[in-house]
Amino acid sequence: MTIAITGATGQLGHAVISYLQEHNPSEKIVAVVRNIEKARQQLAGTNVEIRFGDYDEPVTLPNAFEDATKLLLVSSPEYDDPKRVVQHANAVKAARDAGVGHIFYTSIAFADESKLPLALLHLSTEYAIRTTGIPYTFIRNSLYSDVFINPGLAANVENGEIVTNTDSGQLNTVTRDDLAKGTAALLAGEGHENQIYNFVSSQTWSFDELAEVLSRVSGKEVKHRNVSFAEQVEYLQNAGLPEGAAAFTASIHETIAGGETARTSEDLKRLIGEETSLEETVRQALNAK
Ligand SMILES: NC(=O)c1ccc[n+]([C@@H]2O[C@H](COP(=O)([O-])OP(=O)(O)OC[C@H]3O[C@@H](n4cnc5c(N)ncnc54)[C@H](OP(=O)(O)O)[C@@H]3O)[C@@H](O)[C@H]2O)c1
């Protein structure tokens, strides 16, 4: 069996390869990358085959996917969604032309009901895959916990507050590492044809709880202060974010407040066992024991 993985030099793709090698070190893995040198450095000492493939250069993709029994198509990080639709369509057509046996795609949680603008991009890719008739597995990922819980929280500990417009909204986020572990388990396993999995957490958290955990882990009181959309944008701009990025973050927070990320699922837990807890994620972010 040959498993090809795009986005292999990225954080998710690289972690999936590491977990796949733990599952079965003799499995043939192909890393599809647009930066061969970066991949060589990251994969030094492994038997992973490196092939060039760029979503923006469709002619490079069929060769990159040749012999792949399974393909993990990691969504592109491009911000311009119409461009990203084309990138993904290029990859899907190439998978069809190369005779790939099964396509796994990193989509977004509850894509068909989601109010996030991003969901349209992911649904369009899911439909493109379905047009090929190739068996598929849609891995509908949560927002990464790492987006909210990262070393930047040290500044919140310093200031004694986290400021958001999430209200008491619940989050079903999962760490990127747990998502990689679950994705590797799907790729290494049998079956999963024409299945959809929502890789969200089985228990949610809120920014009020995050403040409590931050206080406990750091030993310093941290409070969550809820503000309006406009105040959030102003706060983030004062902290140095460009206006567009500040408005984007505030709009994500607004959808969290509206309940977008409150739905849980056991799909991931069934594959990986215990998920990384909120407290452990905070400890890792703050590098605390
Ligand atoms: N759920 C979430 O919260 C969340 C958050 C962020 C991103 N995402 C999505 O999940 C994907 C994986 O996440 P990640 O953390 O692994 O992102 P990442 O670290 O930014 O990795 C993205 C990967 O895509 C590759 N890539 C970029 N443009 C490409 C192109 N034109 N052709 C082929 N490959 C290309 C990059 O290659 P280089 O190394 O050469 O740049 C890299 O390997 C992202 O791309 C994005 O679509 C989800």
pLDDT for res 26: 77
Mean pLDDT score, 188-198:
95
- Numbered ranges of CATH 3.90.25.10 in the chain: 146-171+202-263+273-286
Round to whole Å and give the CA distance between 209 and 207.
Answer: 5
What single-letter DSSP state applies at residue 59?
G
With cut-offs at 50, 70 and 90, classify the pLDDT of residue 94. Answer: very high
- Numbered ranges of CATH 3.40.50.720 in the chain: 2-141
Secondary structure of 198-259 as H, E, C letters? EECCCCCECHHHHHHHHHHHHCCCCEEEECCHHHHHHHHHHCCCCHHHHHHHHHHHHHHHCC
Of 6, 73, 74, 106, best ligand 1 pocket probe by most atoms within 8 Å of the beta carbon: 74
Instruction: Using the Cα atoms of residue 284, residue 145, residue 240 and residue 258 in order, give the sign of their dihedral.
Output: negative
Mean pLDDT score, 245-259:
94
Q: Which atom of ligand 1 is nearest to the CA of 15?
A: 16
Tell the burial category of 160 from Cβ atoms under 10 Å away from its Cβ (0-12, 13-18, 19+). middle
Q: How far is the CA of 88 from the centre of ligand 1 (A)?
A: 12
Least confident range of 162-166, 170-174, 240-244: 240-244
Q: How far is the CA of 27 from the centre of ligand 1 (A)?
A: 24
**Which CATH class, in words, describes the domain spanning 2-141?**
alpha beta
Round to whole Å and give the CA distance between 55 and 86.
Answer: 8
Q: How far is the CA of 16 from the centre of ligand 1 (A)?
A: 13
pLDDT in tens, 131-141: 999 999 999 99
Helix (H) or strand (E) holding 92: helix 81-98
Mean residue pLDDT of the chain comes to 95
CB of 182 within 6 A of ligand 1: the answer is no
Question: Which residues does 176 contact at the CB level (< 8 Å), separation at least 6?
Answer: 11, 12, 15, 144, 145, 146
pLDDT for res 27: 85
> Domain 146-171+202-263+273-286 belongs to what topology?
UDP-galactose 4-epimerase; domain 1 (3.90.25)
Q: How far is the CA of 284 from the centre of ligand 1 (A)?
A: 22
